[in-house]
Structure formats: structure tokens, C-alpha cells
């Protein structure tokens, strides 16, 4: 399996908040944003592994600011960590006011996916090539979180 860089599988998605995506305050529903986060992160994991993936855990999701009806949502996903069959993906969410162009980060999330073989069992994924200090720090932080939770940190 050819090792890959986080940039090789990074994924971006744009959405606009429509009336059906909002609560009575006119802000995007948390569940809708979670759905978009899961989709863009799964695309990154799929791109890295070239295998179907399933969501196995969401470590953390913060909503720091509301996103208004009609605003544009940018979702950026990239791999932080790769184990033997699992991949942790970090997602940053930004809201853009289309009237002014102002952007602010509203959420961040960490989600873990597992690649599956044709029989539906976990299967090994390519290693991650880390080339920057930032990538190494994100990888180490993910490995620490797994250790704290008693999960394996062995690589494929
Ligand atoms: C994902 C799934 C196949 C894993 O099965 P399993 O029997 O636990 O498999 P394993 O014990 O071999 O674990 C596979 C990997 O998942 C990791 N894992 C399992 N539970 C985890 C958790 N809660 N958090 C993070 N990683 C986890 C393991 O550490 C292992 O990683 P590694 O191979 O990189 O070391 C199984 O739990 C499953 O099918 N879950 C449901 C998935 C789903 O339906 N998601 C929602 C729709 S996509």
C-alpha cells in the first residue's frame, strides 16, 4: 500500500443554509452541520483508503458560533491519524456572510472511520506521510487520545 500525505485525501465541501436546514431562530441546525461534517470527513477517509468506510466514533464537536440562514458553509477535512484500519479525520467549519464576504470559523470536529473489505470487515489502510510540524503534532495528539481510551496505536 502506497503511503499518502494528508493533502492527497483532503476534502472540501460548500453548502448554503436553506430554510429547511434552520431552527426557529433562523440558525443552521446542529444535526445538519453534523451530517455535512460526517460527509466531508468520510470523503477524505474514502480517498485515503480507497475502501468504503464507516464512522466508528466522533471524539469532539464544538459549535462556537451560529450560522445564519443564507450563509455559505465551508467544510474542510483532512486526515490527522492513521492506525491499522482506522483513520482520524479533523474537520474545520467556516461560515461566510455572502453579503460581506466575512468568514469565521464556527466549528471543529474529530471523527474516526474504519475501512472495510469486501466482506465488510476492517481492512488495513495506507500509512500517512507526515511532512510538516503541524501534521506531526496532529498525529501525536490523536495517538495520545487513542492511548487514553485504551485503543491500539499500532500502524498497518
Ligand atoms: C467499525 C466496526 C466495523 C469495527 O469493528 P470492530 O470489531 O470493533 O473491529 P476492530 O476491533 O478490529 O477495530 C477496528 C478499528 O476500529 C478502531 N475502533 C474501534 N472502536 C473505536 C472507537 N470507539 N473509537 C475509535 N476507534 C475505534 C479500533 O481501534 C481499530 O483501529 P486500528 O485497526 O486502526 O487499530 C464496527 O464497530 C461497526 O460496524 N460499527 C458500526 C459502524 C456504523 O454503522 N457506523 C455508522 C454508519 S457509517
Strand order of the β-sheet with 86-96 is 11-16, 72-82, 86-96, 103-115, 53-63
* CA-based end-to-end distance of the chain: 9
Q: What is the pTM of this model?
A: 0.96
- 19, 27, 66, 72, 149 from 22: Cα distances, Å: 6, 5, 10, 13, 35
The confidence score (pLDDT) of residue 151 equals 94
The confidence score (pLDDT) of residue 9 equals 98
Residue 114 and residue 88: Cα distance in Å, rounded? 9
Q: What lines the ligand 1 site, CB under 6 Å?
A: 54-57, 83-86, 112, 114, 122, 151-152, 154
- Best residue for ligand 1 mutational test, from 35, 46, 56, 123 (most atoms within 8 Å of Cβ): 56
Digit-coded pLDDT (tens) for 3-28: 999 999 999 999 999 999 999 999 99
Domains and CATH numbers, the chain: 6-148 (3.10.129.10)
What cell numbers appear for 130 in the block? 507526515
Amino acid at each position: 500500500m502506497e503511503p499518502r500525505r494528508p493533502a492527497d485525501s483532503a476534502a472540501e465541501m460548500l453548502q448554503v443554509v436553506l430554510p429547511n436546514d434552520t431552527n426557529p431562530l433562523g440558525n443552521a441546525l446542529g444535526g445538519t452541520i453534523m451530517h455535512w461534517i460526517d460527509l466531508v470527513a468520510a470523503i477524505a477517509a474514502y480517498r485515503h483508503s480507497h475502501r468504503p468506510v464507516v464512522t466508528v466514533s466522533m471524539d469532539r464537536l464544538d459549535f462556537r458560533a451560529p450560522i445564519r440562514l443564507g450563509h455559505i458553509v465551508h467544510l474542510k477535512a483532512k486526515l490527522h491519524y492513521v492506525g491499522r484500519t482506522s483513520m482520524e479525520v479533523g474537520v474545520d467549519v467556516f461560515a461566510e456572510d455572502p453579503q460581506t464576504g466575512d468568514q469565521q470559523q464556527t466549528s471543529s470536529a474529530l471523527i474516526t472511520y474504519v475501512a472495510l473489505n469486501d466482506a465488510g470487515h476492517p481492512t488495513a489502510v495506507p500509512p500517512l506521510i507526515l511532512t510538516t510540524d503541524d501534521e506531526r503534532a496532529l498525529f501525536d495528539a490523536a495517538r495520545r487520545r487513542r492511548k487514553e481510551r485504551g485503543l491500539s496505536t499500532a500502524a498497518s
